[in-house]
Structure 1
Amino acid sequence: MAIWTNLQHHLTLKTKKANLYSMAFTTFLCSVFYLIGIWQHGGVSTGATTSSSSTLPCNSTKNTNAHLSKPLDFNAHHTAEDLVPLVARVKHFPPCNPKFSEYTPCEHAKRSMKFDRNMLIYRQRHCPEKNELMKCRVPAPYGYTTPFRWPESRDSVWYANVPHKHLTVEKAGQNWVRFKGDRFRFPGGGTMFPRGADAYIDDIGKLINLRDGSIRTAIDTGCGVSIL
């Protein structure tokens, strides 16, 4: 038992000595690295301060005080007006003549009559050539009004935005569109929509995808009739 106690005491002393040696060695390394760092940065700062202060003129104190007494200026010395203006690279086209308020480049009636009537080619889309392009903004019809918001726009359109009554006369018996007051109204039904426009749209939806936005415009073309 006494041997075991002496052994434990010996191991404890040996461990303490080892820890002491480790601390001493670590302290020595830190001191060496610290001195090396001072040497690489030009020596001790006290010597640098002394050498630099010895070269100052006699009135250095007055100059320093004058510098410190100068008020600090926190005001901005540059404003937005000093910046170079940024010019947007946008081409501004002048408005077209009011007579072109309903001009559709690829559906020009007079130009279409110049094409062959065989196979109704003259009824197809014929976009203008480069020398026929109009570089101006097509104006809105006289009295143009902001369109109705959905869902009211489904049933009504301002007459001033589409000032033509041809369909209300030629297709009056089919109940497609009615002119009343200052607007066109679409009652639905008739020969094209016997079950209403909603049912007609549902039938088209069975043929093409109208739900995810991949198709924005659908044209149903029949015998002399097309529905947009």
Structure 2
Amino acid sequence: MTATTDDRPNRKGLSRVQMAWRAAQDIPDGAYVNLGIGIPELVAAHVPAGREVVYHTENGILGFGPARPGEEDPDLINAGKKPVTLLPGASLFHHADSFAMIRGGHIDYCILGAMQVAANGDIANWSTGAEGAIPAVGGAMDLVAGVRHVLVITEHTTREGEPKLMERCSYPLTAPGVVRRVFTSFGVIDVTPQGFLLREIAPGVPLEQVRAATAAPLAVADDLKEVAAPAEQAIVPETHDA
């Protein structure tokens, strides 16, 4: 899997590959994980060596791995219609069984994209609510209700520079109060009972810029540190024998 090009002007902070790499570091060994469409799909390629993560997709695969360029199988795709591989022990099943896993609380983590995240953990990622907008619910509403830990990975702002981290979401909610951590191009932000807390900041991005791009109060951790992501060119996707 490769990152999509981000052509927004004056882009600063982490690239999409770096965001995906950073999110992958937080997934514990042995976790069952669902990845949303978009940037979250990139996470599957960056599981740290020696760590086993079992990835789940709504269309009916448990135990998939990253694509192998040039070896794509059109019958092996994830919910975003992107090619994947099967790791040893993988299983295939009906999508109704897949959603039973989600609704039954059997998935440990989901990593989703978002249009907006609120300081109280609300998430909006299916519609802008605009007249004529095409809603794209997918499996998101099941995931945020059934998965134990909900994480978000997204650009910190829209292409137009509008904030995505809000005091309150202005778009229709996918679910209230479910997000616990957000990985953005500007850093790693926890959702706490007191609101957003900046844990890690992207190298070269001033704190003032992060606050200006956040439409809610942003507290700063006492032990704030820089995101330790390698340069994008140095991030090599993990490979697995399938």
Measured against the shorter chain, the TM-score band is under 0.3
Q: TM-score, normalised by structure 2?
A: 0.20
Higher share of residues assigned helix:
1
TM-score w.r.t. structure 1 length?
0.21
Larger strand percent:
2
